[in-house]
Chain A
Amino acid sequence: MSAPGASGAAGSRSSGGAPFVMAAPALALFSLFALVPMAIVGYLSFTRWNGLGSPSWTGSDNWREALTSDVTRHALWLTAKFMVVSWLVQTPVSLLLGVFVAGRQRYRTLLAVVYFVPMLISAAALAIIFKNLLDPNFGLGATLGLPLLDHNWLGDPQLAFYTTVFVVAWQFVPFHTLLYQAGTRQIPASLYEAAAIDGAGRLAQFRHITLPQLRYTIVTSSTLMLVGSLTYFDVVFVLTGGGPGLATRFLPLDMYITGFQSNEMGRASAISVVLVAVGLLLSLIIVRFSGFSRMRSQQAGM
């Protein structure tokens, strides 16, 4: 970067750095729709508001209701379970696939091209595909007559949860595979050569070289996965709408239904504050404990 000269007047003079004015539009737009809302949602959580008209102050009522509501508590527990199970499913799959397609063989590159396709489909379209594909009467399982596939995937409360985990994995594994592919391709080949000379087998190489070298990719991917499934909405909304019963009513969905369907925006705002706080805390904890920020300064550039 240029020398820290005197940056005074809005710099078209030769010594000045670029003027702050240039960053102002982005800052204004981002503040208006991302930062101001965080303040507003805090305020709204202490009001009663039906989405029309004006909010009226009610103190801590919403918080008391939200925190004692069985539905919301259940949603909280379900969300935690969803985050853990999703992580357990998506991480090994995308890690192994990513390492595999990092190879330079032509067929692996081709595989990677196909793997990526689910990322292109909108969440709404994707949910509709699986809703029909898994339909107990007209779906693939029923019409194909395979007993293994013939279940009421979205109608049975137990199954619906894991089906949702699978569909969300179908959508996001491609992205994480991509991260692991990029990460693996950056591991210096000399490490493997040295290990091979020492007689390390493939499994040993994977355990002692690939995995440790992918540490920061794992951290990045896991952060995105966990915060992502904490706040995930689109597919679940279209696929199950939270049902059957409350089986897939995760916290973001609970917030949406409370706010936009039951018209209790105040209470929904309280749930929203919880979501923002947990998500932010989660990112910060992971970043702090993984030394992620140190790594960023080590590896500047692309």
Chain B
Amino acid sequence: MSAHSPTSHAPAARRLRRGNPLGALGGLLWLLVVLVPVYWVLVTSLRSREGFFDANPLAVPSSPTLENYRLVLDHDFGRYLLNSALVTAGATLLVLAVSFLAAYAIVRGTGRLLRWTFSLFLLGLAIPLQATIIPVYYLIAKAQMYDTLAAVILPSAAFAIPLTVLILVNFLRDVPDELFESMRADGAGHWRMLWSLALPLSRPALITVTLYDALNVWNGFLFPLILTQSPDQRVLPLFVWSFQGEFTINVPAVLAAVVLSTLPVLALYAVGRRQLISGLTAGFGK
């Protein structure tokens, strides 16, 4: 994906710049498929309850209101936001820490155990992990951790390990050997090389996996659903779900909850789109 130098790829650019009316039509059609629901959610969340029943569903609300948002915020939204933030931060930090160590060892090590570990992680990519929720529930219950945020953090982090390690390994492999050799000649051990060479150099890859893992944990639904129960431990996706159970008829309020729970991710997307997208394709997109 390094095809950005304008001179060497001029032919590619020429080829890729041809018009394509049929494609444009299809592209436009899908744009509508994506945008119409999103637009409908936004305008409906700004309608009053009465306005919702009267208006043309796609018209801009004649008297937009934020009362739905206030209703959502008054239902402990802040608490669930905090829970989601804690779970996301905890799981992401955990998976980054252990995966970075492992990736360093896999790239800079030679032992059979390490090769075996890497193969295991690669295999982990193919295992349909969602199918193991019952034993995960069993383990969490046995460990007396049911209905805690830690119960969500641990398996979420564990399931993110394979892809995170794979992306970091791919990145670290491209760091020239000589850099490590010269530090080693100065008497540096592995922990120092890890800390003062590999870590700063891996910044782009680390940002990418951070965003990618955080997005997945933030949006995760299954683990919170089976591993927590009380409102105190609720994360945002669970909140949105239970809120719509409670306010089924009040569609504008339900959609306001949807918008509020998605806003942090949209902000993340606005800031780190490039890194996030390269994270999505890095593991598979070859």
Contacts and interface: CB of A to CB of B under 8 A. Distances in A.
Interface in B1-45: 1-3, 9, 11-18, 20, 23-24, 26-27, 30-31, 33-38, 40-41
B27 A105 contact: no
A97 B171 CA distance: 29
Nearest to B131: A275
Interface of B: 1-3, 9, 11-18, 20, 23-24, 26-27, 30-31, 33-38, 40-41, 52-53, 56-58, 94, 97-99, 101-102, 104-111, 113-114, 117, 120-121, 124, 126-139, 141, 154-155, 157-159, 161-162, 165, 170-171, 173-174, 177, 180, 184-185, 187, 189-191, 194, 215, 218-222, 225-226, 236-238, 240-241, 244, 251, 254-255, 258, 261-262, 265-266, 269, 273, 277, 280-282, 284-286
Contact of B127 (A22, A23, A34): A34
A14 to B, nearest CB: 5
A284 B113 contact: no
Contacts of B240: 122, 124-125, 128
Contact of A40 (B138, B265, B269): B138
For chain A, what secondary structure do more than half of its interface residues adopt (helix, strand, loop), or is it mixed?
helix
Interface string A83-127: 000000000010011011111110010010111111111111100
Contacts of A115: 30-31, 34
Interface residues of A, number: 119
A29 B102 CA distance: 12
B240 to A, nearest CB: 5
A276 to B, nearest CB: 5
A1 interface: yes
A197 interface: no
A55 B32 CA distance: 52
A199 B9 CA distance: 22
A18 B31 contact: no
A193 B137 CA distance: 57
A300 B94 CA distance: 28
For chain B, what secondary structure do more than half of its interface residues adopt (helix, strand, loop), or is it mixed?
helix
Contact of A19 (B105, B131, B159, B221): B105
A25 interface: yes
A276 B133 CA distance: 11
B2 to A, nearest CB: 8
